[in-house]
Amino acid sequence: MIDCDIHPSIPDLKALLPYLPGHWAEMVQTRGMDELNAISYPAQSPLTARADWRPASGKPAATLAQIRSECLDPFGLSIAICNCLYGVQLLFSEDMAAAFAQAVNDWTRAELLDRDPRLRASIVVPIQSIERSVDEIERCAADPRFVQVLLLASGDQPLGKRVHWPIYAAAARHHLPIGIHAGSNYHNPPTAVGWPSYYTEDYVAQAQAFQSQLTSLICEGVFNKYPDLKLVLLESGWTWLPAHLWRLTKYWRGLRMEIPWVDRSPADIVRSNVRLSLQPTDAPPDRAGLERIIEHLQSDELLLFSTDYPHWQFDGLAAWPDGLPKSLLRKITLDNPRATYARLLEPVR
Amino acid sequence: MNVQLRPDTARTTTSRLAIADCDIHPAQRTPRDLDPWMPQRWLDHRETFGAARRLGMQSGPAYPKSQPNASRRDALPPEGGRQGSSLSFMQAQHLDPNNVTLGILNPLGSGQGVANPELSAALCHATNEWQVAEWTSRDRRLKASVVVPYEWAEAAAAEIRLWAGHPDFAQVLLLSRTAEPLGNRRYWPIYQAAAEANLPVAVHAFGYGGAPITSTGWPSLYIEEMTGHAQSSQAGLTSMVTEGIFERFPTLRVIMVEAGFAWAPPLAWRLDKIWKTLRAETPHLKLLPSEYLRRQVWWTTQPMEEPEPRTHLLDTLGWMGWDRLLFATDYPHWDYDDPAHALPLPIPETDRQKFFLGNAQAVYGT
């Protein structure tokens, strides 16, 4: 089993000090910098950590021992991909963001990848600067245990916009999928109609953010320019995908004159280039419903197994959603992740 | 989508199913059409300062439409004026041949979203007077919407109370892209007044709230704006559910207009799942989110999603319930759905009748 979305926590900002350049380590102390924890996952919210994965003190999934005993071992994982959600993207200074992104990646390598051969990681990039994001990709890509570039679902600009393309060029060059994870830098309101009152709305709105990004990436022509680039939507939910593609494809038929470079239907592009992690599965109440949605997707290659550990998406070991056909088990837990993450096939060390 | 209707002897009124069209856009013939109902003070103001919305352009959108006025090229009235501005041509091109027995007017480009709240209120009121004088009093099939300056909820509620009980008004009209999410308490007086007047609240795609149409900034393209109305409408509806609008106003009916509908089931599943996890945050909700949607929300059909194969849509319709959908063409806009071709699915005649007419009659009480 390959788990494509787990979330180790940086224990606290002090843990990064050994990995920060001297100036920035000093700034953390001198300026009294606090944690970089985004409001996307409030510390005590039930979703942020399942009750039985919440330690008596400290953060969930903050030590290798926790990750092993709660996730790697019980789920029988051969590989798990770490997507570190630390609020580097929220910073406004590109210098500061570049330093912290580098520290997060180096911490991940030293504290996790070097200590358990089952772990892989995504490259956190300082999206505040496209140039420095490319530099960070180049710096980390030499290590085959970095298997993906990690972006957030909401940022300053839609991800299809051409300013981002050097990131996609670098990712394609190194056979790294672009992983977009739920979350925002909160530089724009979390919804198209402003700031919500409730955290519930923020989390529901993640699905709409992914829909907007998918529209942008397809319509701007990213997959025409980089036909081998894989895009993975992480913790996006996925049952919204057919309805979104029906709408987008209808508008593509009506408005092709605006985007003549999009020479295939959006639904085709998704089937060849886009993948989605399994959890959360926002499932229909009828047991047969999930099978219908797989039928609507017209592909069994789109879903990648994930637990979303330590987020609370299911209880016990029930990461496989009720009603999802068992015939897809091998595809979703093994074949699809391997086909998506080319680097999983490369020897490590 | 952009179907050209030509004279067709086979398509006579009597041979066709009677339908409701729950999204028709009447247009002003000239920029001065509302003047008879506008106070001089606001005519002078508009003459000097315009009627700016939270958009950069003085006129015309920064995402140019795909066609002039986003309208069908064949919908220009022979006597001149813009598409949708001639009742007689609307009758000849659309209402008569398609056997529309109930047409809901949704005037856009009125005063909704105008930044100056008093000018917005004056324009909205004039738009309502204009609908009666120019449209509903001249064709009994047509029903008007109470157009309200929703960013100033007290004035919007007053406008609703002014028209409450008037037989020509079928609903209250809001636009989806509000300044705050629609469940925000600043809008509650609108729902209070609508519930008291027993008028459904229609939330039509588009608007001028000022926020980008995505949570990640302004996209480049018109197709992204058009596709994005589904996302902004989902956010507005999520807010209404989460803030407890349907708990507080249990008789309120809400109609989501021109944002598609296939997104509704997966949104409901997501809301239910996350509500179960986070319910401590919203103790004011007594039912599952999906139960409120099932009880109090309807969707107009256009632009209808078109899966390949089209039969996949039957799953969506089953998940939503056939009684949730109100047929709409969006006449005279370019992405018009033609009732002759909109539902090419093998469905029972009773469901087809509900989809095209019965549901609308039930919601609007006509």
B182-198 residue pLDDT tens: 999 999 999 999 999 99
- The three-state DSSP-derived secondary structure of chain B is CCCCCCCCCCCCHHHCCCEEEEEECCCCCCCCCCHHHCCHHHHHHHHHHCCCECCCCCCCCCCCCCCHHHECHHHCCCCCCCCCCCHHHHHHHHHCCCCEEEEEECCCCCCCCECCHHHHHHHHHHHHHHHHHHHHCCCCCEEEEEECCCCCHHHHHHHHHHHCCCCCEEEEEEEEECCCCCCCHHHHHHHHHHHHHCCCEEEEEEECCCCCCCCCCCCCCHHHHHHHHHHHHHHHHHHHHHHCHHHHCCCCCEEEECCCCCCHHHHHHHHHHHHHHHHHHCCCCCCCHHHHHHHHEEEECCCCCCCCCCCHHHHHHHHHCHHHEECCCCCCECCCCCCCCCCCCCCCHHHHHHHHHHHHHHHHCC
Can you tell me the distance from the alpha carbon of B356 to that of B363, in angstroms, rounded to the nearest whole number?
13
Residue B268 scores a pLDDT above 90:
yes
Residues B148-157 pLDDT 10s: 999 999 999 9
- This complex has an ipTM of 0.97
Domains contained in chain A, CATH given:
2-345 (3.20.20.140)
Report the share of chain A in percent with pLDDT over 70: 100
Question: Which of B223, B279, B301 would you mutate first to test chain A, the one with the most A CBs within 10 A?
Answer: B223
Is B239 an 8 Å CB contact of chain A? yes
Is A50 in CB contact (< 8 Å) with chain B? no
Q: How close does chain B come to A116, measured CA to CA in Å?
A: 32
The reply to whether B334 touches chain A by the CB within 8 Å rule is: yes
At A349 the pLDDT is 65
Chain B interface includes A310 (CB < 8 A): no
* Per-residue pLDDT at B13 exceeds 60: no
Annotate A60-97 with DSSP letters as a single string: TT-SHHHHIIIIITTTT-SEEEE----GGGG-S-HHHH
Q: What is the mean pLDDT of residues A288-294?
A: 97
Q: Which of B224, B261, B306, B341 to mutate to test the interface with A (most CBs of A within 10 A)?
A: B224
- Residues B286-329 have pLDDT tens digits of 999 999 999 999 999 999 999 999 999 999 999 999 999 999 99
Q: Is the pLDDT of residue A251 over 80?
A: yes
Among candidates A191, A237, A242 on the partner chain, residue whose Cβ is nearest the Cβ of B235: A191
Q: What is the pLDDT of residue B170?
A: 98
**B15: pLDDT confidence band, cut at 50, 70 and 90?**
low
In this predicted model, what pLDDT tens digit does every residue of B330-366 receive, in sequence order?
A: 999 999 999 999 888 989 999 999 999 999 999 999 8
Chain A neighbours among B 240-299 (CB < 8 Å)? 242-243, 260, 262-263, 265-267, 269-275, 277-278, 280-282, 290
- Out of 3.40.228.10, 3.40.5.10, 3.20.20.140, 3.40.50.720, which CATH number does the structure's domain B15-364 have? 3.20.20.140
Q: Nearest residue on chain A to B316, judged by CA atoms?
A: A243
| Residue pairs spanning A and B at CB distance below 8 A | 250
Statement: residue A148 has pLDDT above 50: yes
Structure tokens at B146: 């109470």
Residue ranges covered by each domain of chain B = 15-364
Nearest CA distance, B191 vs chain A (angstrom)? 18
Q: What does the pLDDT average to over A117-121?
A: 98
Cβ–Cβ gap A193/B211 under 8 Å? yes
B-facing residues of A in 268-297 (CB < 8 A) are 280, 282-285, 289, 292, 295-296
What is the token pair recorded at A158? 């839609």
pLDDT digits (tens, 9 = 90+) for A46-91: 999 999 999 999 999 999 999 999 999 999 999 999 999 999 999 9
Cα–Cα distance for residue pair A43/A184, rounded to 1 Å: 16
The pLDDT of residue B10 is 45
What average pLDDT does the structure give for chain B? 95
Within chain A, strands assigned E span: 2-6, 79-82, 119-124, 146-154, 178-184, 231-234, 274-277, 303-304
Average pLDDT of the residues in B163-191? 98
Looking at the complex, does the CB of residue A200 fall below 8 Å from at least one CB of chain B? yes
Is the confidence at residue B8, as pLDDT, over 60?
Answer: no
Q: How far is A285 from chain B (nearest CA, A)?
A: 8
Find residues 128-167 of chain B whose CB sits inside 8 Å of chain A: none
How sure is the predictor about B9, in pLDDT bands with cuts at 50, 70 and 90? very low
Tell me which residue has tokens 């509650």. Answer: B188
pLDDT at A186 over 70: yes
Write down the pTM of the prediction: 0.97
Distances, alpha carbon B3 to alpha carbons B74, B337, B339, in Å = 9, 8, 11
- Please, which pLDDT band fits residue A343 given cuts at 50, 70 and 90? very high
Question: E strand or H helix at A117, and its extent?
Answer: none
- At residue A217, the 3 state secondary structure works out as helix
